Chains A and B, each alone.
Chain A
Amino acid sequence: MLRNFIILTLASFAFVACETRSDVEIANEENILIMGNSAEPKGLDPHLVSGVLESNIIRALFEGLCVEHPSKNEESLPGAAKSWTHSPDYTQWTFSLNPDAKWSDGVPVTARDFAFAYKRLLSPDPNWPAKYAEMLYFLKNAEAYHKNKFGHILCGNDTNFPLPWDTLKEANFDGDPTIKLKSFNDKKFEDLKKSKREKLAKYLQDGETIDLSKITPKEVNFNDLSSPEKRIYFNAKGIDKLSEKELTFLKTQTDVIKWTDKVPENIRQIVLDRIIEHHKAKKPSLWDKAKVGVTIVDDFTLKLDLRGPVPFLHHITKHYTWFPVPKHVVLKYGEINTGLSSPWTKVGNIVSNGAFKLKKWRTNHILELDRNPHYWDNENVHLNGIRYLPVKNLFTETRMFGDGQLHITYKVPAELLKMAEEKYPKSLRKEDYVGVRYIRVNTAKSPFTDPKVRRAFALAIDQKALCDKVLMGGQQPASGIVPPFGDSQPAGVIQFDPEEAKKLLAESEFADPASRPEITLLTTDSDSSLREAVAYQAMWEKHLGIKVRILQREWSTYLSRQFSQDYDLAIAGWIGDFLDPTTFLEMWITDGGNNNTGWGSKQFEDLLKEAENTADPAARLQILAKAEKTILDDTPILPVYWYATNYLIRPEVKNWHPLLLNNHPFKFVKIEK
């Protein structure tokens, strides 16, 4: 057996010895693009993924209403929609779909597929693990539908309702996010921190105290509660979140929740009755009642009503969350949102409407796409296919490029930039990339409860030295959160200033070193993050005299620690989803899913709301700049630098131009032999 094995091995070597062309040379003949894609994709369901590397594949498989221009950031080309119009105030957009657009199985792409996709992504089902539903909140009523805001859907959307929604919505439907019942954990009211007690105080009258243990267990017995306890319990939850039992009880004493005087008792009863009725009917889908701003005018006309003026909607439709999914295929392999394993995306099942279709997918090995013959613009697609290699080790990737195994690499590590500059001067690209690197601060933990300490830490980072001497890839010192692009100007607020930093620290509550607990800096275990961490550590020690401890953790632990706010400082980054400052700002709203700093500001949120309702682009940008300044003044995050992409690309690859979002449209890419 051993002998056979040896002979077989030797024979196979002899056989391949004939093949002396490199992989890229062979691929050039076949007109196939080979790309490094950094890691194994977690999945291909556009509604369930959230990473950059998955988006690289999904953008080749699927096509949204509009398509990126290969070289111009500000422009959009027709994709699944052949043309579009909008109302003068940018609140209503009508897309005429291309009747020739087809799924890769030949079925036409219709407005129904789009509406289905949006309904799917917005599914309010708590079991539906979609990560990016907020991207659709631009649509009118989308947020209410996704968050199951019963009051809004059942009463506010009803034009015959006796009270207008604008008056009714002052009632406490959403609950009070500042009161977290679970966090009381059977503590005594007197033992609570002062800040927590103050949050409760607005529901209490003078001298009233409460027994927290009665309102923290899972099954609360309402008859045992005193009226202040009831007030806190119901107001913390909000009308929309109450169970059928709780609503029925509320009907007997409506005044334990905040309604405002403008809502009379009979209206309160109607509201509660409607929600109870919905619960009793086993919560049927509210899609129709929610009136989400998606209208199928006919098979090839899609009308979108927005929550406010969005002059840049065409940019947003290029994001994969706005892509259609094949209704006929999704429903063939499951319900609309049996998402946990998305069976429809498996090889053999998946059908796509982009220039390419899935051919092969081997774990940790290769993912290969093939030309989609049913694609409407197939004759103008140059490539016959794309191969994505999950090369985790970036050093290997750069070497593979040198050996002619890749057309395009994912990233050149900083360690190899100098070598790449000398060896592949024509292939190395250093391009601006809309993304910000920052350090997230846990504002709930001392010493970072004091904004002066936070700012001191921000000003003690020598951003320029870091960019020029350590990163060396064309990154820019970040004077604010939003990187500069188009008409959006950099904030210019945060700049390296060790003297000011020292002064701030000395003025702060924690000027005395003995009053400061040990500070840790959380980072992932990647080489590049660790290098940065060590640099920050040295800068803070030098300029502030504070030595932080570096805590390196695996990706999943690193993330969960941030989500549970179990950290002091954490190195993090954010890549823009579309070219508008909101993509960098909206995450900082109070309790936003990716905020995790414990910071929140009413003023900031009001400014965002104001921008949401402003149609004039220049005025809008000004409001957003003001909003950005509100964050920076309080510094719950320390901006460090704005990203740049560093990658290698072979000269025969054409039509691959610098793009700020790095979302290169594959349909235009060409290999010139």
Chain B
Amino acid sequence: MEATIEKNNLPEQDVEKGTSLWADAYTRLKKNKLAMIGGIIVIAILFLCFILAPILSFFGFSANSQDLDKTFSGIGQNGYILGSDNLGRDLMMRVLEGGQISLLVAILATVLTVTIGIIYGGIAGYVGGRIGGFMMRIVDGLLAMPFLIIVILFREIIGGHVNETAHFLTSEWGWHKDTVDRFANLIPLTLAIAGFGWLTMGRIVRASAASLAKQEFVEAARSLGLSHRRILFRHMLPNMLGPVIIYATLTIPSFILYEATLSFIGLGIEPPNSSWGKLIKEGANFLESYPTVLVIPAILFSLTLFAFNFLGDGLRDALDPKASKD
């Protein structure tokens, strides 16, 4: 993996004419219809989950209230727009609120991943040599570690504190309990996913940092006597952002998937709250008997994954046609 990434040096002239690079990229992106559609879908789904869902819940729609007399309602039956599940809960609200969790976990984890990845990878790449190599071997070691261990550890170490804080916020400061709980319990999961995800990001950043460090403008900065931190963050960072942003877009869907796999193993969001992964996992159990519970979250989930991936691929093609590889 490293060999190829080291090759994709960002040509210097691109950096010089920064604005036209973005303008160029946008024209290229517009040509890629899939990517444009992807972008629109992403915006639409973000709107549904983060704007429409809170409005609906303000008007009394609830994702968690049960009605055991109205289980398995079909689409449009019993006042449920998209039907209800095995405990008589509103599927539409569950899918939308599940989407909030899934997307938030993925986006927050990506932000963390990028931050840690840039710092660690940047330092490893800039320092280079034995120390840089050693830092990367640690990353390799961690990469081969079973993901599950990290998730359980984070849940145990952080989970208790998060819950205490949430309890404090609700009981002392009178915050809305359900909302606080719902968002509190995605924190350990986000940290765990980020705790694993930054490794790959770190490798990518290191590769581009290592090649940048050898380039003339960095040497020039060094000879001017600038501090390491300034060179790293003021001069090299802007040049590394391209691949980082592209990779980040592609990371979001893969983190949504991680979350789903964790749900299969029985880890992840605490019930009664749900996420797309969890909804799909539970839905798959009804494959033979009541497939609607599977189909509705699965459609939204797949659409989102498609959209993010196509958008990411499109951005990559557009920003740096030569580096269109992983």
> Is chain B in direct contact with chain A in the complex (CB below 8 A)?
yes
Q: Which residues of A contact B (CB under 8 A)?
A: 395, 413-416, 418-419, 462, 465-466, 469-470, 514, 518, 525-527, 530-531, 533-535, 537-538, 547, 549-552, 554
Partner of A534, one of B272, B288, B289: B272
Partner of A550, one of B86, B272, B289: B272
Q: How far does the alpha carbon of A538 sit from the alpha carbon of B88 in the complex, in Å?
A: 11
When distances are taken between beta carbons in the complex, the residues of chain A under 8 Å from B69 are 469
Closest 4 CB pairs of A and B: A525-B266, A469-B68, A419-B289, A415-B285
User: What are 20 A-B interface contacts by the 8 Å CB criterion?
Assistant: A395-B284, A395-B285, A395-B287, A413-B285, A414-B86, A418-B289, A465-B68, A518-B167, A518-B171, A526-B266, A527-B282, A527-B285, A530-B271, A534-B66, A534-B271, A534-B272, A535-B68, A549-B270, A552-B266, A554-B152
Partner of B177, one of A414, A514, A547, A552: A547
Q: How far does the alpha carbon of A538 sit from the alpha carbon of B71 in the complex, in Å?
A: 14
Q: How far does the alpha carbon of A163 sit from the alpha carbon of B70 in the complex, in Å?
A: 72
When distances are taken between beta carbons in the complex, the residues of chain A under 8 Å from B177 are 547
Given A419-B289, A547-B177, answer yes or no on A538-B163 (Cβ-Cβ < 8 Å).
no
Given A465-B68, A549-B270, A552-B271, answer yes or no on A470-B285 (Cβ-Cβ < 8 Å).
no
Q: Which residues of B contact A (CB under 8 A)?
A: 64-66, 68-69, 71, 86-88, 152, 163, 167, 171, 177-178, 181, 265-267, 270-272, 282, 284-289
When distances are taken between beta carbons in the complex, the residues of chain A under 8 Å from B282 are 527
Q: How far does the alpha carbon of A469 sit from the alpha carbon of B67 in the complex, in Å?
A: 10
When distances are taken between beta carbons in the complex, the residues of chain A under 8 Å from B152 are 554
Q: How far does the alpha carbon of A204 sit from the alpha carbon of B287 in the complex, in Å?
A: 67
Q: How far does the alpha carbon of A534 sit from the alpha carbon of B273 in the complex, in Å?
A: 10
When distances are taken between beta carbons in the complex, the residues of chain A under 8 Å from B163 are 518, 549
Q: Are B68 and A419 in contact (CB under 8 A)?
A: no
Q: How far does the alpha carbon of A525 sit from the alpha carbon of B65 in the complex, in Å?
A: 21
When distances are taken between beta carbons in the complex, the residues of chain A under 8 Å from B178 are 547
When distances are taken between beta carbons in the complex, the residues of chain B under 8 Å from A414 are 86
Most interface-central of B65, B178, B286, B289 (chain A CB within 10 A): B289
Shortest C-beta distance, B261 to chain A (Å), equals: 14
Q: Are A525 and B171 in contact (CB under 8 A)?
A: no
Shortest C-beta distance, A514 to chain B (Å), equals: 7
When distances are taken between beta carbons in the complex, the residues of chain B under 8 Å from A514 are 171
Partner of B272, one of A395, A413, A518, A538: A538
Given A419-B289, A470-B68, A550-B271, answer yes or no on A538-B266 (Cβ-Cβ < 8 Å).
no
Q: Are B288 and A416 in contact (CB under 8 A)?
A: yes
When distances are taken between beta carbons in the complex, the residues of chain B under 8 Å from A550 are 270-272
Q: Are A415 and B86 in contact (CB under 8 A)?
A: yes
Q: Are A538 and B271 in contact (CB under 8 A)?
A: no
When distances are taken between beta carbons in the complex, the residues of chain B under 8 Å from A415 are 86, 285-286, 289
Q: Are B86 and A470 in contact (CB under 8 A)?
A: yes
When distances are taken between beta carbons in the complex, the residues of chain A under 8 Å from B288 are 416, 419
Q: How far does the alpha carbon of A486 sit from the alpha carbon of B71 in the complex, in Å?
A: 36
The chain B residue with its CB closest to the CB of A525 is: B266
Given A549-B181, A550-B272, A552-B270, answer yes or no on A531-B87 (Cβ-Cβ < 8 Å).
yes
Partner of A538, one of B65, B86, B265, B287: B65
Q: Are A535 and B286 in contact (CB under 8 A)?
A: no
The chain A residue with its CB closest to the CB of B281 is: A527
When distances are taken between beta carbons in the complex, the residues of chain B under 8 Å from A533 are 271
Q: How far does the alpha carbon of A414 sit from the alpha carbon of B288 in the complex, in Å?
A: 12
When distances are taken between beta carbons in the complex, the residues of chain B under 8 Å from A418 are 289
Q: Are B270 and A551 in contact (CB under 8 A)?
A: yes
When distances are taken between beta carbons in the complex, the residues of chain A under 8 Å from B272 are 534, 537-538, 550
When distances are taken between beta carbons in the complex, the residues of chain A under 8 Å from B68 are 462, 465-466, 469-470, 535
The chain A residue with its CB closest to the CB of B288 is: A419
Given contacts A469-B88, A518-B171, 7 further A-B contacts (CB under 8 A): A395-B285, A518-B163, A525-B266, A534-B272, A537-B272, A550-B271, A551-B270
Shortest C-beta distance, B66 to chain A (Å), equals: 4
Q: How far does the alpha carbon of A419 sit from the alpha carbon of B177 in the complex, in Å?
A: 38
Q: How far does the alpha carbon of A554 sit from the alpha carbon of B282 in the complex, in Å?
A: 18
When distances are taken between beta carbons in the complex, the residues of chain B under 8 Å from A525 are 265-267
Shortest C-beta distance, A535 to chain B (Å), equals: 6
Most interface-central of B65, B88, B163, B266 (chain A CB within 10 A): B266
The chain A residue with its CB closest to the CB of B170 is: A518
Q: Are A535 and B66 in contact (CB under 8 A)?
A: yes
